[in-house]
Every structure is written in structure tokens, then in C-alpha cells.
Amino acid sequence: MENKELKRPSFEATIDRKIKRRTFISFASFFALSGLGLGAWKWLYNSPEEISGITAGAHKPLRDALNTSEQVFKQVYSNTHLVKTYPKSMAATNVRVNGDIGLTDETFRVQDWQLEVEKEAGKLLTIGMEQLKKLPKTEIIYSFKCIEGWDQIQHWGGLRFSDFIQHFNLESQSKKAYVGMQTPDEQYYVGIDRESTLHPQTILAYEMNGYPIPVENGAPLRLIIPVKYGVKNLKRIGKITFSDTRPRDFWAEQGYDYYSGL
Ligand SMILES: Nc1nc2c(c(=O)[nH]1)N[C@H]1C(S)=C(S)[C@@H](COP(=O)(O)O)O[C@H]1N2
Ligand SMILES: [Mo]
């Protein structure tokens, strides 16, 4: 019989085992974490999509995250938070033009324009420019921001949206969660949370740099809403609606954030 000597493992052998164990742990963790990642991705991929009409069918968890940030922003940016304003001398004289969706109808005549307000389903109120100009004029010089990456200090004049609501007895309508606006040809349209429309710096503008707004910048009436990115500042307003559900929004339908707050 062989003499089985009780041998203590050599130093080298111990190191070798330790390395093997660590290698095993590394690989096991790698596979476990990969599995988690794949699972998370599958969970997101298989999660329900939102109704594609309003927000381009984002998967629900992503959309939920955006909607949660909307709630947070609404709390943080209450109507007491004012956007920074500048002296008139800083306003651009060469005002940028960006986007002409809803402005291409050849038959449109500024002189014949009237604003339509949907008081309730099928019941329209029509308002002429002279009526709007009777209300107190508010001017604002601020930094207009486009999500494409440019900004410019611009000077706009018009009436506060909140004054408009009061003057035309639209208080009950404006209790609804959203305001919708669209061009007369219905090619461009936005939906905005009521709080932002009632912000003291939100105006229905009819002047740019002290003169009637040029056609390409949204004549005769456009929205200037400094708490939002450019996309929500609809040019050439044709109709205003009120609703508790989100109105259609041109860029949200293309996948942009519906709230688009600054
Ligand atoms: N009717 C209409 N309004 C619109 C747009 C448009 O394409 N059509 N583009 C929006 C975008 S993305 C921006 S940045 C601003 C640009 O306004 P401006 O042309 O006066 O610079 O208008 C917004 N309002
Ligand atoms: Mo924009």
C-alpha cells in the first residue's frame, strides 16, 4: 500500500484555487446581471404603449416617467415663478423665423381673420382683433427658446391669456385641465396644461417689436408662452378649445415631450 502522506496544500495551490473561485464569481455575476438587464429590457419592450395619437406610442414606463416629471415641474414652477426679462434695447431686431406648418394656406387673409373659441361642444364664440386690442396691453422681452438649440431675446406685445379668459367670461371653461390651440387650417396644433396658460407672462400676442406681427412670425395673433419651449408657441391662432383630456399636439405626436416646459 502506498503511504498516503497527509500533505498540506502548497502555497501555489491555494493561490490557484482563489483565482479560480474569483474567476467563477466574476463570470457568474456577469451572467446574472446580463439576465437582469435583458429582463428589464423585455419588461419595457412588452409594457403597454400609450394611445399613439397623443404621445407617439411611447412605452408606458417611459411615458410615466415623463408624466411624473410633468407633475413635479407643475409644482415647482408655480405661477409665482417669473421668467427672466430684459431691457428693450436687448431685443433682437432680426427676429428668427422657424416653422411654417399651418401658415401656408394661400387663401388666408389677415384682414378677414377672426378668433374662434369653443365654449362647449359645437358652440363657438368669434372674436375680432379690435375686441382683443381693447384689453390692457402687456409687453414682454425675454429669451425665446427652441428645442432645436437656439434662443433669442425677443419683444412681444399683446393681452394676457388670463385677462382674455376673464374678459370673455371663460372662467368655467378654463377650469378644465388643458387648453388646445390650432391654426385656421388645422395643420399645426398644441395642447397646454391650464396652469401654464394662466401664467402671468403668457400672452396672446399681436405685436412684435411694437408693430403688428409679420405673417411668418404668426400674424395676426400668436401664442407667447415663456414657460414653454418654442414648439408650444403656436403662430396664427385660429381656434381655442378647453378640455380635461389632452388635446392633440403636433410635436407630441412625433414623440416630443408633451409638457415641453422650461
Ligand atoms: N403655426 C405654427 N406655429 C409654430 C410653428 C410652426 O411650424 N407652425 N413652429 C413652432 C416652433 S418649433 C418654434 S421654435 C416657433 C418659432 O417662432 P418664430 O418663427 O416666430 O421664430 O414657432 C412655433 N410655432
Ligand atoms: Mo422650435
Q: Has residue 262 been placed in a domain?
A: no
Same domain, 80 and 174: yes
> Rounded distance, CA 160 to CA 200, Å?
7
* 174 shares its domain with 215: yes
**Averaged pLDDT for residues 196-213:** 98
Residues 47/60, Cβ–Cβ less than 8 Å: yes
Which residues form the pocket of ligand 1, taking CB atoms under 6 Å from any ligand atom?
96-103, 146, 183, 188, 217, 230-231, 233-236
**Residue 188 shares a structural domain with residue 115:** yes
In a domain, 174, yes or no: yes
Residues shown for the chain: 262
Confidence of residue 1 (pLDDT cuts 50, 70, 90): very low
Is 9 in the same domain as 110?
A: no
Mean pLDDT of 119-126: 96
At 103, is the pLDDT very low, low, confident or very high (cuts 50, 70, 90)?
very high
Residue 239 forms part of a structural domain: yes
Segment 10-14 shows an average pLDDT of 62
Q: Which residue's CA is the nearest one to ligand 1's atom 8? A: 101
Average pLDDT over residues 103-119: 98
What CA–CA distance (Å, rounded) separates 219 from 241? 20
> 204: pLDDT confidence band, cut at 50, 70 and 90?
very high
More confident site: 77 or 111: 111
> Residue 164 has what pLDDT?
98
Q: Would 260 be classed as within a structural domain?
A: no
Helices then strands (H, E): number in the chain?
6, 10
53 found inside a domain = no
Question: For position 213, which CATH number holds?
Answer: 3.90.420.10
Of all residues in the chain, the percent with pLDDT exceeding 70 is 74
State pTM to two decimals: 0.79
Same domain, 30 and 128: no
- Give residue-wise pLDDT tens across range 151-190: 999 999 999 999 999 999 999 999 999 999 999 999 999 9
Q: Which ligand is nearest to the CA of 99?
A: 1
Q: Which residues pair with 59 in a beta bridge?
A: 49
- Ligand 1 pocket: which of 101, 151, 233, 254 to mutate (most atoms within 8 A of CB): 233
Which structural domain range is residue 25 located in?
Answer: 4-46
Same domain, 178 and 84: yes
pLDDT above 90 for 246 = yes
- CA 223 from centre of chain: 14
DSSP 254: G
Q: Domain tally for the chain?
A: 2
47 C-alpha to ligand 1 centroid (Å): 34
5 pLDDT more than 60: no
Longest Cα–Cα distance in the chain: 117
Whether the per-residue pLDDT at 46 is higher than 80: the answer is no
pLDDT band at 22 (very low <50, low <70, confident <90, very high): low
238 and 200 part of one domain: yes
Same-domain check for residues 166 and 111: yes
Q: Are residues 87 and 126 in the same domain?
A: yes
Looking at the fold, whether 227 and 145 belong to one and the same domain comes out as: yes
Report if residue 259 sits inside a domain. Answer: no
Per-residue pLDDT at 44 exceeds 70 = no
Do residues 124 and 30 both lie within one domain? Answer: no
Mean local confidence (pLDDT), 14-20: 62
Question: Do 15 and 69 share a domain, yes or no?
Answer: no
